[in-house]
A and B are shown apart, each in its own frame.
Chain A
């Protein structure tokens, strides 16, 4: 997956300077938002999401969806990427809407009457809110690079480096495990049996644990479990553009609350 997402990576090269600096944040999607600190992005998305949870009013959800779509160019996410990641969301919202109209509760006000069915406010509100809540998450995570995330969590949220880097290292095995999963399924066919899902999952778990142990051994051999402070080779700055992201999140959250009371 890292191969799929890797694009141009920014960062000053050394080139004869007296002080050799390391790479700054990588730019997973190449946009302004991609270069912002991961914790800032998480915080902003979390604030917006939490605010949205307090209201079922369709207008509120629509506002947020509209604002995010309008700001899409700023995030550097191509609409195609958004579709690829988000289409299950639309399908799910449609499913929720259908269930609510056909079987759901019956006490919110009716907004419209279509083809003999009552379209109630809650049905619309639930479907739209589902989209509005998930959208910031998609946007944020499409622009977060795992290495940057680990660095940011360690630097700003005091997450234990052993756990963050350990998880990051395990993540590197994901494409390998995907390939092993494919081979395990093919191997079942070669044996003359159909691949039961549990059998394949079991084979994958064994392969995954084996690889994990080898990786852990290699990390230990490089001093990973040494007691004592650990430096981070990459810089993780939190500058005013990152603060801007948090402020934007706060602003949207406040707008949501205000709108909620305006329409109550």
Chain B
């Protein structure tokens, strides 16, 4: 596998980040404003915010894709006016690393459902650790509440960000739009 990133790898990975950052921007402010009241719900759909961390590697299939896509999305969120400023960068870094490890674990040779789910779960674990241990955006919770939050986040990430990204990449592949990528070559020749 060629490890050097082509221009098209860089730009499309960044564009995926841009697309998600734009969609999140519309939702984030409202969703985060409900923080505190909507905590359990937010934890249950947390995986949506981690899709880029897994979809990036699935599409581009180069080392560093998870990290790059999440970082770009975080920088764009911050520049566009995220209410969380700098911390999205740290979140993005940790989430991206989680997604990355899901594929680094098998040497970037396997990009199937199992790797995707693991990547999603790891990204969710990173996010939960950040939210509970480092970032200041959660209210002070009891131990029981913290465990509930963490489990919800991790499961949500494994399912939505992991399996969901895998299904998304396969659907994208069927449209032919990924033909310039190895992830699109799985499609039967047309």
B7:A202 contact, CB within 8 angstroms: no
Partner of A170, one of B15, B23, B136, B145: B15
B107 beta carbon closer than 8 Å to chain A: no
Prevailing SS type, chain B contact patch: helix
Partner of B15, one of A49, A98, A142, A208: A208
Rounded to whole angstroms, the CA-CA distance of A211 and B6 in the bound complex is 16
Q: List 22 A-B contacts (CB under 8 A).
A: A85-B81, A87-B29, A87-B83, A88-B33, A92-B32, A96-B139, A98-B36, A99-B36, A99-B39, A104-B140, A123-B139, A130-B136, A135-B85, A141-B81, A141-B86, A173-B15, A202-B168, A202-B172, A205-B172, A208-B19, A215-B15, A225-B7
Cβ–Cβ < 8 Å partners of A149 in chain B: 75, 79
Interface residues on chain A, number (Cβ under 8 Å): 74
Q: Which residues of A contact B142 (CB under 8 A)?
A: 104-105
Chain A's closest residue to B39 (CB) is: A99
**Taking each of B82, B88, B136, which has the highest tally of chain A beta carbons within 10 Å of its own beta carbon?**
B136
Shortest distance from the beta carbon of B154 to any chain A beta carbon, whole Å = 21
Binary flags per residue of A128-170, CB closer than 8 Å to B gives 1, else 0? 0110011111111110101001000000000000110011011
Residues of chain A having any CB pair with chain B under 8 Å: 1, 42, 45-46, 49, 52-53, 84-89, 91-92, 94-100, 103-105, 108, 122-123, 126, 129-130, 133-142, 144, 146, 149, 162-163, 166-167, 169-171, 173-174, 177-178, 181, 201-202, 204-206, 208-213, 215-217, 219-220, 224-225
- For B22, the chain A residues whose CB sits under 8 A away are 174, 177-178, 181
User: Of residues B17, B78, B142, B180, which shows the largest number of chain A Cβ atoms within 10 Å of its Cβ?
Assistant: B78
Name which residue of chain B comes closest to A174, CB basis. Answer: B18
Question: In the complex, A73→B70 CA distance in Å?
Answer: 33
5 new A-B contacts at CB < 8 Å, known A96-B139, A138-B85, A212-B14: A45-B86, A88-B33, A98-B36, A104-B142, A141-B79
* Cβ contacts under 8 Å, B82 to chain A: 85, 137, 141
Instruction: Say yes or no for B30: interface residue by CB 8 A criterion.
Output: yes
The residues of B that contact A123 with a CB separation of less than 8 Å are 139-140
Contact of B140 among A53, A95, A100 (CB under 8 A): A100
In contact, B10 and A162 (Cβ under 8 angstroms): yes
> What are the nearest 5 A-B pairs in CB distance?
A137-B85, A95-B36, A170-B14, A212-B15, A166-B10
Residues of B79-116 at the interface with A, using a CB-CB cut-off of 8 Å, are 79-88
With CB as the reference atom, state the residue of chain B lying closest to A178. Answer: B22
- Would B72 and A84 count as touching, CB distance under 8 A? no
With beta carbons under 8 angstroms apart, the residue of B19, B85, B175, B180 that contacts A134 is B85
Whether, in the assembled complex, B129 has its beta carbon less than 8 Å from a beta carbon of chain A, the answer is no
Shortest beta-carbon distance from A236 to chain B in Å: 17
| Complex CA distance for A144 and B8, rounded to whole angstroms | 26
The CA of A162 and the CA of B140, in the complex, are separated in Å by: 43
- Interfacial chain A residues near B10, Cβ < 8 Å: 162-163, 166-167, 216
Q: Are B137 and A171 in contact (CB under 8 A)?
A: no
